[in-house]
Structure 1
Amino acid sequence: MSVIDPDHDDGGTMSGTTPLQDRLVDCVDDAAREASLARAAEVVREGKVVVLPTDTVYGVGADAFDVVAVAMVLAAKHRGREMPPPVLVPNPRTVDGLATDVPMYARILMRQFWPGPLTLVVRVQPSLQWDLGETNGTVALRMPDDEIALELLAEVGPMAVTSANVTGHPAATTAQEALDQLGGAVAAYLDGGPRTGGAPSTILDCTGEEPVVLRLGALSAEEIRAVLGTTVLHDSPPAAQEGAEDAPDAVEEPTEDTGRGDLADLVGSVAPSGVLAPADSLRTVAAPRSSGATTTP
């Protein structure tokens, strides 16, 4: 494993000419960690792709606002735009810059369970200059409970991050496993030691007046309801649960990434919110005759 010398100018470290094994940088050794994180932050700012540890498995990601870099992440996984990555944030304050109409219950959940295994699907700020793929106006946000990941996020800002593996292969639990799968598609691999995986995050749709379970994971419905007070937590719609039961969660799933377009894998692209609303909750509103259009809430 390499330990980066911050004073050494290699004319483009982590470029395509860097030997693959040299792209592993040490974050286990405290003496090397600061320099390794600094170099990883530089790589992200250069618009390149990095692998980083999270609180479950290793993730592969890039600057969420760099359109080309996000496309590189999807290309590294052999994944299309129909499966956009979620976005990891360094703290809950970042959410207001990324999302709009965030319900108070979602803020309560962030304060209670972030950092941790809770992914919240919210409505994206329409003015953002980014392109995560076919998101249908939503974005999946999570604050991981991992020191290395949080230090990098604090330095570079929100990152589009998904599990560090080629679609159809097991998610990497070590930096070396990620290197074996992704190879030269990644500029730097932050080695934070093995990650044991564990239960994936619980995913909630927070685009409506009340939250809806899209997939239960490390957090139980009982734990969530305990902090919601009078706000009702709705169970997952049957159609959503069928896709969520065995599908991998980006960044967090310790089992095999099937590459299917299932709900749990598409945590950033719920269409439009993933919620099957009761029939009596919908109404058609006639638009002015000049427009000839109708809308549904």
Structure 2
Amino acid sequence: MADPNPRVLPYGMAAIDEAARRITRGECVAVPTETVYGLAADAGDAAAVAGIYAAKGRPAFNPLIVHVPDLAAAERIAMFDADARELAARFWPGPLTLVLPLRDDAGIASLVTAGLPTIALRVPRHRAMQALLAASGRPLAAPSANASNGISPTRAAHVAASLGTRVPLIIDDGPCKSGLESTIVAGRTILRPGPIAAADLPFAAARRHGDAAITAPGQLATHYAPAKPLRLNAREARPDEWLIGYDSIIGDDTLSAAGDPVEAAARLFDALHRADASARARIAVAPVPMEGLGEAINDRLARAAHR
């Protein structure tokens, strides 16, 4: 009989080495940060990032925070202005996330950014996340390690109770120091309040309200919409349509010929980009069942088709 409990290892090099091996294989692992426990995967591997969504269960597509070891690594991924550099100098490593323009050659999976031209970056202070970044040699996407809509986990036991064996490994390094998700700042606007208060910032910061455009984690999802008209639940292409297939429906492209929603989630944004760049005037997408990740995929497609 299979063990119903996830594998939990105390912090140490044995745990870090195993976690790094799993990251390299495209898996996700739970690791503590100074804010909450994160569910980490290689931010450059779309299938691995889709695995995060699958493990959390029935998610909406939101941009994810990418963790990097230092400012130099962040600068290889995003473009910094003077304000961002000042914030990084003051608060990194620490519980501050900066939303910055994404470099064209960043090598980040589009699923991480939800198709946006910006990326949310953080340099964590916690020894476990820093050790995993060093051992894996990869930027790590890491939302909170809990089931969707659950309470954020601040102990390894919280992760185990919420995700069970949906996460193959949990690194236990005790309770998180902050226990509150990071403050998110874009320019001089606070997108999400957190451990770093507005009064701590070196400039007067505005607050983004809930009805404004969503550009970062902790807000409602913003979806990539192609320039071309998009028809959903298509079983065959009409004249001048580029058909994105799924499962048994064959198209010009496919989200997953095997009907795998994890693969479909990983391929979704890239497939939409290819369709938008094609010579056809319109786009059609085959039906994707609503179960599990299918709900998030359909939410994304519905928003992309809205005009």
Q: CA deviation at 1:217?
A: 2.1
On the 8 A contact 1:213/1:234 being kept in 2, the answer is yes
Counting aligned pairs with the same residue, the percent is 31
Is residue 213–residue 235 contact of structure 1 (8 Å, CA) maintained in 2? Answer: yes
1:236 aligns with 2:207: yes
- SS of the equivalent of 1:150 reads helix
The residue that corresponds to 2:145 in the other structure is: 164
Q: Does 1:143 align with 2:120?
A: no
1 CA distance for matches of 2:220 and 2:104?
A: 18
Matched, 1:204 2:185: yes
Deviation by residue 1:195-237 (Cα, 9 ceiling, x = unmatched) = 254443221113xxxx222233222222212xxxxxx544124
Q: 1:55 aligns with which of 29, 34, 39?
A: 34
- 1:153 maps to which of 108, 133, 143: 133
SS at match of 2:76: helix
Which of 53, 62, 66 lines up with 1:83 in the alignment?
A: 62
Query: 74-83 or 151-160: which moved more?
Result: 74-83
Task: Give the match's secondary structure for 1:109.
Answer: helix
1:190–1:267 Cα change, 3 Å: farther
CA separation in 2, counterparts of 1:168 and 1:217? 18
Which of 95, 104, 109 is matched with 1:117 structurally? 95
Name the CA distance, whole Å, in 1 between partners of 2:175 and 2:2.
24
Q: 1: CA distance between counterparts of 2:210 and 2:113?
A: 23
Cα distance, 1:266 vs structure 2: 3.9
Task: State the partner residue of 1:215.
Answer: 192
CA positional deviation for 1:160 = 0.5
Q: Which amino acid aligns with 1:195?
A: C
In the TM superposition, what are the counterparts of 1:9-24 in structure 2 within 5 Å? 19-21=3-5, 23-24=7-8
Moved more, 119-128 or 212-221: 212-221
Structure 2 gaps of 5+ residues are: 226-307
| SS of match in other structure, 2:142 | strand
Once the two structures are TM-superposed, the CA of residue 25 in structure 1 deviates from its matched residue by: 1.1
Of 91, 110, 134, the match for 2:114? 134
Describe how 1:177-192 pairs up with structure 2 within 5 A.
177-192=158-173
> CA separation in 1, counterparts of 2:9 and 2:199?
40
Aligned partners of 1:189, 1:78: CA distance in 2, in Å? 17
The residue number in structure 1 matching 2:233 is: none
Judge conservation of contact 2:215–2:222 (CA < 8 Å) in 1. Answer: no
CA contact (8 A) 2:63 2:217 kept: no
Query: Could you tell me whether the CA contact under 8 Å between 1:85 and 1:266 is conserved in 2?
Result: no
Which secondary structure state, in structure 2, belongs to the residue aligned with residue 139 of structure 1? strand
Q: Tell me the alpha carbon deviations over residues 164-183 of structure 1, each in whole angstroms, 9 at most, x when there is no partner.
A: 11112111222122122212
Q: Which residue of 1 aligns with 2:48?
A: 69
**Contact residue 54 and residue 146 of structure 1 kept, 8 A:** yes
- Taking a change above 3 Å as real, the CA distance of residues 69 and 116 of structure 1, as seen in their structure-2 partners, is same
Q: In the alignment, residue 9 of structure 2 is paired with which amino acid?
A: V
Q: Is 1:194 paired with 2:175?
A: yes
Secondary structure, counterpart of 2:218 in structure 1? coil
Distance in 1, Cα, partners of 2:223 & 2:115: 7
- The residue type equivalent to 1:202 in the other structure is T
What letter corresponds to residue 106 of structure 2 in structure 1?
A: L
When residues 124 and 150 of structure 1 are mapped into structure 2, their CA distance, relative to the original with a 3 A threshold, is same
**Per-residue CA distance 1:26-79 (angstroms, 9 max, x = gap):** 11xxxxx11111111111011111000010221111011111000000111124
Q: Deviations over 1:77-97 (max 9, x none)?
A: 124462132101111111121
CA contact (8 A) 2:35 2:182 kept: no
Aligned-partner residue type, residue 182 of structure 1 = L
Deviations 1:92-112 (A, max 9, x none): 111121113x10221121111
TM-score of the pair, normalised by structure 2: 0.65
**TM-score, normalising length: structure 1:** 0.67
Q: Tell me by how many angstroms 1:143 deviates.
A: 1.3
Query: For the Cα contact (< 8 Å) 2:66–2:140, is it kept in 1?
Result: yes
Q: Aligned residues, how many? A: 222
Deviation at 1:264, TM superposition (A): 5.2
